Amino acid sequence: MHFIKQYSLGFMLFMLAACSTPDATDQKADKDSYATIKPYFKTDWAMNKLWDDGLAEVAIYDAERVVYGNNREFEFAMITVKEDFNREYNVKTDNYTRNDLFPVMKINQLCRIPTDNYPYHYMTSVFVNRQYPWDLHKLTTSSQEWCGNTFKSITRGRNFILNYSSYFDGQGEGTWQLSTELLFEDQLPYSLRALRFESKPTFNVTIAETQQTNKAAQPEEYNATITATEATIEGKATWLVNVQLAPNKVNQYWFATAYPNTLIRQKTWDGRTLELKKISRYAYWQGN
């Protein structure tokens, strides 16, 4: 009986993963969706030859976040690079002769946060359709600390599906069904770079809260308003994007005016901050 239960669970997870892997029809649905927000983005933003140089953009930020009631200081790395996925495994391909390849932009976000007794580690990988910078293809995120680890994976088929494995009682393992058209807070440092800043757009969109946590509750979805304006930081012109999630919840993002519109500063309503420390382009996976 125990064997049958394990087998059934494994079969269900396998079928869930199979059903959540996008096929050609799903990709067409992605292309035709988000019609209300598409005009506010530069669809060719990531098609610039800069991203075909075989290098990654590595940005290091001085960061702060409240953990256990205290403000913690740490470094936050954000790595942006073009990759080719294959549809069979829905991951970066090792075989570039396959006929099922498609390009994505990968944004890896990593940090180690010291606390009084032990550190917190977070790593989030965001994969966005290269041609449509608002269109999340896949997101995985994990947390590790001395009490345990939690993993979450968001994939898109006909809608978004969140699979999770949490060490917290009452959570364990499971799946959440999310809305069909969403932006995720963890993709915004990348996706907002592609806004048509010059037109100073204002628009509404549903945004799911950050998944960079050690718990796995169903994400809160906000009916948010995004507004882009001009702002100055230390005498330099920037684009400021305000994301109004709720009346008392506002996230702010400052971007360079020149392409590739680097994220310079970020402040969120819950005390998370980023301040650009250094940025460079190199093949970080070589020479280790």
Contact criterion met (CB below 8 Å) for 216 and 171: yes
Contact criterion met (CB below 8 Å) for 237 and 225: no
**What single-letter amino acid sits at 34?**
Y
Q: What is the pLDDT of residue 33?
A: 65
Q: What is the pLDDT of residue 288?
A: 67
Contact criterion met (CB below 8 Å) for 121 and 141: no
Q: What is the pLDDT of residue 21?
A: 46
Place of tokens 């360079």: 256
Assign residue 117 a region: left if phi > 0, alpha if psi is -120 to 50, beta otherwise?
alpha
The model's pLDDT over 242-264, given as tens digits with 9 standing for 90+, comes to 999 999 999 999 999 999 999 99
Count, residues in the chain: 288
Q: pTM to 2 decimals?
A: 0.88
First to last CA, the chain: 48
Contact criterion met (CB below 8 Å) for 184 and 208: yes
Q: What is the pLDDT of residue 158?
A: 77
Contact criterion met (CB below 8 Å) for 45 and 265: no
3-class secondary-structure state, position 133: coil
3-class secondary-structure state, position 30: helix
CA atoms within 13 A of residue 259's CA, in its CB half-sphere: 11
pLDDT one digit per residue (tens) for the chain, 288 residues: 443 434 344 434 434 444 444 444 344 444 556 899 999 999 999 999 999 999 999 999 999 999 999 999 999 999 999 999 999 999 999 999 999 999 999 999 999 999 999 999 999 999 999 999 999 999 999 999 999 999 999 998 778 999 999 999 999 999 999 988 899 999 999 999 999 999 999 999 999 999 999 999 999 999 999 999 999 999 999 999 999 999 999 999 999 999 999 999 999 999 999 999 999 999 999 976
